[in-house]
Structure 1
Amino acid sequence: MDKRTIAVIGALLSCVGISHELLASQDCSACTRTENGEIKGTASGSVIAFKGIPYAKAPVGELRFRPPQAADKWDGLRDASQYRATCPQSKDPLERYPFPGKTIHYSDGNQNEIYENEDCLQLSVWTPTADHKKRPIMIFIPGGAFVVGNGSSNFYDGSRLAGHDVVVVTLNYRVGLFGFMELGALDKNYAGSGNNGLRDQIAAIEWVKRNAAAFGGDPDNVTVFGESAGSISITALLSIQQPSKWFKRAIAQSGASNFIHSKDFALGSGRTIAQVGGYQSVEQLLKATPQQLLETQKNAVAAVGVGDLLFAPFIDGTLIADEPNKQLSDGNAQGIDLMLGATQNELNYWSLYDGQYRNMFVENTDFGPATTAIPLQYRTELESRLGTKLDQRYAAILKLDQHNLIRQAQNDDYAMIQPMDRMAERQSARNANVYLYRFQWKVPTEYLPKGVPDLGAVHALDLPFVFGTLDLGWVPGGIRLEQARRDVEARLSAQMMSAWTNFARTGNPNGANVPQWPQYETSQRNTMIWSEHSNAESDPESERRKLWQNEDFGSFL
């Protein structure tokens, strides 16, 4: 068939409303056409992977600190066989990166790798076939405390999830001061810049919806899901105007509205960051190199003293009109089905950065004295309301006398577990289609290396199960699991992948291979416990929950 004949047939098909992405690439089973141009991916098992697709223009030059702009079109066939970029950040030892960064040496004698490429607003897609079947679309927003992390990582390989007949998308968004530094106090023309990272996510969702047919996806059945900063982002997205225009369902994994910033904090931290770097104007910030800005960011984190909490979306009164908890209670997201939960021992994740695996929120570590997770003033006020000391109540509930373990449980409840539960309460009052879970699987103690304590089900431990990768190499002893144990983990992963994809397809996680999981409602508080023997429980750890039942869990900062 010659080119002229192909063109004529393509025109005829267009006239009757049939897109011709596949016709344009009839000799390429891993090709499809997007609104920006044609791309060629790679077959990955039973699915096709398209990586490093631009969804917005590179935010460089005058576009730095600006909302994302529409991506440019390209001529010819674009190679989408590999990841192309990681947004500017300093390498985190627990993150996965597609390629090495640039090694730099700090004045304090330490060194690290950094990533400087600002042309990073890209996404990757896994699909069984680039046809017109209208499969459910699952868009994953990665975590990383809004300073690190990226969707260009094999840690979030979507091929196994896509094998459940869904389209899986992962994305990059600007992190750190590139995406979450509010410059409104420095220049009113840049007001709202502190939410540009969130705007990147929205731009990616919009791009996916417009191009859904190119990947065999249904633009009217989009589920957004995310973990940690990605989960906090989900909370923020539930707070934007008419979120159901952009997605139908949401899955929030370990991160609620308590981590979203107030406008005052965003403006104040923006001023402080500029001062730390010696920048008097946005113009000077625009002229700085990514390396200079990352150095400023590193120094600002130390100067502000809030650690991983320095960057996050903020309540700007425009994109996020009001406090997210209030938005949920008022029914802002009543059209969204919601699945959400937390891991059992969330904050033990940060123990992985310490040479002796000590918990930095309750004891001294390589990074210095313990950092209080629950502020002293808040603890005092809470204990006054309860008429009892938290330590005493938790000691009685847990039947423990080890101070560290008692404080760890309190911190996990305060930071993650109870805020997620309260989020379920608020949404279930507006939409009955809410499902709550708790992830409790942990590395068996017999497989832990000598000297490594039992850290439990740490933050992010659910991700290798959700994606089906079972990538446990970052967990002490995780890679030492024997085949007998691998079978246990594989079964749990299969259950969770089914639940996640079932929910994306119908709004109900139940189905073959999933233990019966009732909707969450406040009379029973049914919660799926993901473990070696997964099952739903009514109001698990109710005594702990009741200690926090009157807390609002609004913004920390």
Structure 2
Amino acid sequence: MKRKLTMAALLILASYTAHSVAFAEEECTLCTNTESGTVQGHREDGVVSYKGIPYAAAPREDLRFRPPQPVKPWDGILDAAAYKPNCPQVKDPLEEYPNKGRTVTMGGETVEVYDNEDCLYLNVWTPAADQKKRPIMVFIHGGAFVVGSASSDFYNGKKLANRDVVVVTFNYRLGLFGFLELGELDSRYSGSGNNGLGDQIAAIQWVKRNASSFGGDPDNITVFGESAGSASVTALLATEKPANLFKRAIAQSGAANIIHSPEVARQASKDILAAGKFDTMDKLLESSAEELLSAQQTAYAQSEIGDRLFAPFIDGHVIKDNPNTLISAGNAKGISLMAGANQNEMNYWSIYDSKLRNMFTDETDFGPASPLIAEHYRKALEDKLHGTLDERYSAIMKETNQSKLRQAQNDDFIMIQPMRKMVEYQQPHNPNVYLYRFKWKIPEKYLPAESPDLGAVHALEIPFVFGNLDFSWVPGGQKYSEDPNTNAKKLSEQMMTAWTNFARTGNPNGNGVPAWPEYDLSHRRTMIWDNFSSSTIDPDSDRRKLWDQEVFNPL
């Protein structure tokens, strides 16, 4: 919507607000009004993008460790031309952002940090801000709840939006800023361990309230996420009346087993507070973001639960109960669900090793193997199976290498089987559910000499879902990306069509998508995404049967 501004108003705005940059009337053809103020959009490859819109107040100073608060309206016009800061984090070497962080030394190691707590912003891509009611797809990024950003090129929504949908990405608080439970230190901060999830809810609510400003339908929102984002989708299904927030959900590699029990959340809090010697809330509030990140790094190195330090937790308030229990009881019965996992999920972490060894099964640059299946759990499971998992997997896979056998067990235990179970918990209450398995991998001819074939690793489906076909982060991916004769585009077209069809109607099927029946326990039909995508009855059924009695509850 156009708005005329006087020169006096322009001068006032220039000194009054950091959010706003004024435009003359003739320049503001892509402006639209939100509840907080007017935003200026920009053309981007056939769609209009609005980047860096605040959806909640900056959670710093007295708002640090507090639930998200409404953003203050701005005067004038906010120029939504560029992404805003990432939420505080120590950059992961596999993550790439358009904005550089600061280089500092932590624990004797040189790292890149982002420490701006004014980070609760979202980005929108739309065909037009024209009051039409298009389906809205809201994406929750991954990163183990400790890294990640909505500004990553992986998540640019322009190619999905070109399929006549509205795409939204957003930042949420990470690590101890969003998932540190402080209720035992100070009762006034009870529930702080779910502030990151609260940010997600606030972002979705903002989208719902402002949908028409971007040509979207507030009653047709699909939430989708990968890894920690997928676990977040699972957590959202366990909130009160999730159908009031969104209509459909897509969960990509992350289920209830990644969410925390109250006990794990409390232990994580103790580890963080001890690492930073934070014995009062005043010390936490007075510390700089960098000091808090340093304590977080120390806790990661010292804590027995290590990489499991952060996740949403069952607090009885935001997450009402175990998501598996609630989904099984019909808490999300009004929501259609698509879910799945990748065939070789846990090989992703091999990319961090100089020789691409699997840190969960072999000694690597980081030290001895860190088994993902605890010995007591393995023993209890094997007692029920009347035989060892190694023996069972060896017979099924025709493989004797223990490392490969245990890699397959880890893939099943952490990702593949929990995602299947999630669909099975939902299916009796809403038969409109779909299960997939992503099996595509970099062809061997592109792999470096003597490099192991890591297969379909964690997150490898993301370039296909968003149509941003950059594989430079995976071994052999750079060479593959530079070859114009690859078939990646065809698979990406199929997956983007399936994802947007599901967002539009609740059914992924349509022209350009292989027939994909709903999932049921009679046939367990699963879409296999690879070079020959098709629906398959009960893939890897022998492996699946070994885990049939497991429930995959939160940690």
Deviation track 1:315-339 (CA, whole Å, cap 9, x = no partner) reads 0011111111000000000000000
Letter in 2 for 1:87: C
- With over 3 angstroms needed to count, the CA separation of the structure-2 counterparts of 1:3 and 1:478, relative to structure 1, is closer
SS of the aligned residue for 1:481 comes to helix
Which residue of the partner structure matches residue 507 of structure 1? 506
Mapped contact 2:149–2:171 kept (Cα < 8 A): yes
Gaps of 5+ in 1: 5-23
Letter in 1 for 2:146: V
Where do residues 177-196 of structure 1 align in structure 2 (5 Å cutoff)? 177-196=176-195
Structure 1 Cα separation of the partners of residues 81 and 55 of structure 2: 16
Which residue of the partner structure matches residue 54 of structure 2? 54
Q: How many Å apart are 1:54 and its aligned residue?
A: 0.3
Which residue of the partner structure matches residue 18 of structure 2? none
Mapped contact 2:166–2:214 kept (Cα < 8 A): yes
SS of the aligned residue for 1:268 comes to helix
482-491 or 216-225, which moves further after superposition? 482-491
Q: How many Å apart are 1:307 and its aligned residue?
A: 2.7
Which residue of the partner structure matches residue 306 of structure 1? 305
Q: How many Å apart are 1:485 and its aligned residue?
A: 6.5
Letter in 2 for 1:152: S
SS of the aligned residue for 2:51 comes to strand
Which residue of the partner structure matches residue 117 of structure 1? 116
Mapped contact 1:151–1:171 kept (Cα < 8 A): yes
Deviation track 1:396-435 (CA, whole Å, cap 9, x = no partner) reads 1001111111110000000000000011111001100000
Structure 2 Cα separation of the partners of residues 350 and 482 of structure 1: 21
Structure 2 Cα separation of the partners of residues 272 and 131 of structure 1: 50
Asked if residue 86 in structure 1 is aligned to residue 104 in structure 2, the reply is no
Mapped contact 2:125–2:158 kept (Cα < 8 A): yes
Deviation track 1:330-376 (CA, whole Å, cap 9, x = no partner) reads 00000000000000000000001111110000001111110001000
Structure 2 Cα separation of the partners of residues 449 and 483 of structure 1: 15
SS of the aligned residue for 2:251 comes to strand
Asked if residue 102 in structure 1 is aligned to residue 99 in structure 2, the reply is no
SS of the aligned residue for 1:529 comes to strand
Letter in 2 for 1:113: E
Where do residues 462-473 of structure 1 align in structure 2 (5 Å cutoff)? 462-473=461-472
Letter in 1 for 2:69: Q
Q: How much is the aligned-residue C-alpha RMSD, in angstroms?
A: 1.7
Asked if residue 528 in structure 1 is aligned to residue 527 in structure 2, the reply is yes
Structure 2 Cα separation of the partners of residues 485 and 553 of structure 1: 42
Which residue of the partner structure matches residue 374 of structure 2? 375
Structure 2 Cα separation of the partners of residues 25 and 130 of structure 1: 17
Mapped contact 2:238–2:319 kept (Cα < 8 A): yes
Structure 2 Cα separation of the partners of residues 107 and 27 of structure 1: 50
Q: How many Å apart are 1:284 and its aligned residue?
A: 1.1
Mapped contact 2:275–2:298 kept (Cα < 8 A): yes
Mapped contact 1:139–1:225 kept (Cα < 8 A): yes
Q: How many Å apart are 1:464 and its aligned residue?
A: 0.3
Where do residues 330-479 of structure 1 align in structure 2 (5 Å cutoff)? 330-479=329-478
Letter in 2 for 1:217: G
Letter in 1 for 2:130: D
Letter in 2 for 1:75: D
Which residue of the partner structure matches residue 30 of structure 1? 30
Q: So what's the TM-score if we normalise by structure 2?
A: 0.95
Which residue of the partner structure matches residue 200 of structure 1? 199
Structure 1 Cα separation of the partners of residues 504 and 362 of structure 2: 45
- With over 3 angstroms needed to count, the CA separation of the structure-2 counterparts of 1:318 and 1:297, relative to structure 1, is same
Which residue of the partner structure matches residue 260 of structure 1? 259
Letter in 1 for 2:378: R
Q: How many Å apart are 1:152 and its aligned residue?
A: 1.6
Mapped contact 2:470–2:481 kept (Cα < 8 A): no
Structure 1 Cα separation of the partners of residues 550 and 3 of structure 2: 67
Deviation track 1:240-263 (CA, whole Å, cap 9, x = no partner) reads 000000000000000000011111
Which residue of the partner structure matches residue 12 of structure 2? none
Structure 1 Cα separation of the partners of residues 444 and 97 of structure 2: 29
Mapped contact 1:244–1:335 kept (Cα < 8 A): yes
- With over 3 angstroms needed to count, the CA separation of the structure-2 counterparts of 1:304 and 1:358, relative to structure 1, is same
Q: How many Å apart are 1:39 and its aligned residue?
A: 1.2
- With over 3 angstroms needed to count, the CA separation of the structure-2 counterparts of 1:433 and 1:332, relative to structure 1, is same
Structure 1 Cα separation of the partners of residues 513 and 83 of structure 2: 33
Q: How many Å apart are 1:29 and its aligned residue?
A: 3.1
Structure 2 Cα separation of the partners of residues 259 and 25 of structure 1: 50
SS of the aligned residue for 2:57 comes to coil
Q: How many Å apart are 1:28 and its aligned residue?
A: 2.6
Structure 2 Cα separation of the partners of residues 340 and 486 of structure 1: 30
Mapped contact 1:183–1:271 kept (Cα < 8 A): no
- With over 3 angstroms needed to count, the CA separation of the structure-2 counterparts of 1:3 and 1:483, relative to structure 1, is closer
Q: How many Å apart are 1:3 and its aligned residue?
A: 8.0
Which residue of the partner structure matches residue 322 of structure 1? 321
Q: So what's the TM-score if we normalise by structure 1?
A: 0.94
Deviation track 1:92-138 (CA, whole Å, cap 9, x = no partner) reads 11112121110001343x20100001000000000001111110000
Deviation track 1:177-218 (CA, whole Å, cap 9, x = no partner) reads 000000011011111000000000000000011111110000
Mapped contact 2:89–2:113 kept (Cα < 8 A): yes
Mapped contact 2:471–2:481 kept (Cα < 8 A): no
Q: How many Å apart are 1:449 and its aligned residue?
A: 1.3
- With over 3 angstroms needed to count, the CA separation of the structure-2 counterparts of 1:463 and 1:3, relative to structure 1, is closer
Structure 2 Cα separation of the partners of residues 268 and 469 of structure 1: 39
Which residue of the partner structure matches residue 70 of structure 2? 70
- With over 3 angstroms needed to count, the CA separation of the structure-2 counterparts of 1:483 and 1:57, relative to structure 1, is closer
Mapped contact 1:52–1:152 kept (Cα < 8 A): no
Letter in 2 for 1:83: Y
Structure 2 Cα separation of the partners of residues 318 and 486 of structure 1: 52
Mapped contact 1:92–1:148 kept (Cα < 8 A): yes
Deviation track 1:487-541 (CA, whole Å, cap 9, x = no partner) reads 4100000000000000000000000100000000011000000000000001000
- With over 3 angstroms needed to count, the CA separation of the structure-2 counterparts of 1:406 and 1:33, relative to structure 1, is same
Mapped contact 1:185–1:271 kept (Cα < 8 A): no
Mapped contact 1:184–1:267 kept (Cα < 8 A): no
Structure 2 Cα separation of the partners of residues 161 and 67 of structure 1: 31
Structure 2 Cα separation of the partners of residues 426 and 413 of structure 1: 17
SS of the aligned residue for 1:356 comes to coil
Which residue of the partner structure matches residue 555 of structure 1? 554
Which residue of the partner structure matches residue 145 of structure 1? 144
Structure 2 Cα separation of the partners of residues 429 and 207 of structure 1: 31
Asked if residue 127 in structure 1 is aligned to residue 142 in structure 2, the reply is no
Gaps of 5+ in 2: 5-23
Query: What number of residue pairs does the alignment pair up?
Result: 538
Mapped contact 1:25–1:32 kept (Cα < 8 A): no
Mapped contact 1:25–1:31 kept (Cα < 8 A): no
Mapped contact 1:338–1:433 kept (Cα < 8 A): yes
Q: How many Å apart are 1:441 and its aligned residue?
A: 0.3
Mapped contact 1:239–1:333 kept (Cα < 8 A): yes
Structure 1 Cα separation of the partners of residues 510 and 429 of structure 2: 25
SS of the aligned residue for 1:111 comes to strand
Structure 2 Cα separation of the partners of residues 450 and 105 of structure 1: 35
Letter in 2 for 1:76: G
Deviation track 1:277-320 (CA, whole Å, cap 9, x = no partner) reads 01111121011000000000001112213232110000001111
Which residue of the partner structure matches residue 496 of structure 1? 495
Letter in 1 for 2:545: K
